[in-house]
């Protein structure tokens, strides 16, 4: 227990330092449509520490959440993503790409969240329709009416929202009714055994049908095999993301795909 406490304290200290020394980078995992066309990407943060090496997001994101460092980290991710979108929209072969980023519930609960996002996006001078903010159901632990109002204000501004990890938490039709969501992401835990587990197949089929009925796009995460892709395609899933196509890539490798 003491070793864990010491390691947590160390990572929190080093995170503060790395925000100043630019040791964080974004990798980009491609998203494809049913015709195998690269249409979007998810930006995922990576931490390359000069002494500790590569630190997994699963190790440092929970600490960032607990220490509120997720707030400056989240702003950094948004700024980096917007700068990348600005570069893509200057190239005719890249300007169609949409980019999604994860937004923490703690960010959304901040009083200035909406204005901070507007300021960053406006400064970057991007096509707002190309930026998607991914949220999880944890955001709804706060005041759902206040959250819905903030999300709607940003939708009116031109952004869109995706509900990540759908089906793993307290999924409710009320969320889809009350929140201005345009996309559902099927959690990879349902996709992993899609070809061998009948319950997972039924769950995925239900989520896709639910999305269609609500007029939402549906993205499947964790697509790792040709069989996964074929099954999802037969169910009319809209987009696909996973190691069957590509791992998250540094920007230089992602741009080569384009």
Whether 63 contacts 11, CB under 8 Å: yes
More confident residue, 256 or 178: 256
Q: 73: pLDDT confidence band, cut at 50, 70 and 90?
A: very high
162-174 per-position pLDDT tens digit: 999 877 666 567 6
pLDDT score of 52: 85
Per-residue confidence at 190, pLDDT binned at 50, 70, 90? very high
User: What mean pLDDT do residues 12-33 have?
Assistant: 93
> Which residues constitute the domain of residue 202?
2-257
Q: How many CA within 13 A on the CB side of residue 201? A: 13
Strands 24-33 and 38-49: antiparallel
Of the CA atoms within 13 Å of residue 79, those in its CB half-sphere come to 11
The torsion angle over the Cα atoms of residues 132, 29, 168 and 116, rounded to 10 degrees, is -30
Please say whether the beta carbons of 174 and 194 come within 8 A.
no
Query: What's the pLDDT band for 78 if we cut at 50, 70, 90?
Result: very high
Q: In 3D, which of 14, 21, 28 has the Cα closest to residue 64? A: 14
- Over residues 129-143, the mean pLDDT reads 87
Per the structure, the count of domains in the chain is 1
- What CATH number does the domain containing 252 carry? 3.20.20.450
- Predicted confidence at residue 172, as pLDDT, reads 63
């Amino acid at each position: 227990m003491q070793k864990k406490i010491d390691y947590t304290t160390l990572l929190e200290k080093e995170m503060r330092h790395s925000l100043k020394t630019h040791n964080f980078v974004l990798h980009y995992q491609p998203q494809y449509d049913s015709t195998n066309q690269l249409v979007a990407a998810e930006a995922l943060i990576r931490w390359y520490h000069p002494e500790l090496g590569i630190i997994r997001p699963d190790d440092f994101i929970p600490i960032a959440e607990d220490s509120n460092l997720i707030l400056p980290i989240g702003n950094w991710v948004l700024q980096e993503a917007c700068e990348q979108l600005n570069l893509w929209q200057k190239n005719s072969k890249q300007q169609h790409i949409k980019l999604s980023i994860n937004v923490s519930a703690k960010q959304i609960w901040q009083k200035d969240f909406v204005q901070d996002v507007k300021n960053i996006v406006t400064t970057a001078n991007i096509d707002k329709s190309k930026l998607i903010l991914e949220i999880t159901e944890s955001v709804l632990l706060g005041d759902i009416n206040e959250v819905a109002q903030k999300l709607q204000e940003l939708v009116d501004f031109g952004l869109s929202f995706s509900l990540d990890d759908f089906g793993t938490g307290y999924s409710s039709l009320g969320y889809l009714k009350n929140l201005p969501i345009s996309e559902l992401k099927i959690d990879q835990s349902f996709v992993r055994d899609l070809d061998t587990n009948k319950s997972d197949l039924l769950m995925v089929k239900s989520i896709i049908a639910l999305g269609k009925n609500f007029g939402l796009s549906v993205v499947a995460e964790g697509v790792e095999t040709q069989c996964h892709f074929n099954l999802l395609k037969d169910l009319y899933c809209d987009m696909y993301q996973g190691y069957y196509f590509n791992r998250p890539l540094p920007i230089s490798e992602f741009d080569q795909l384009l």
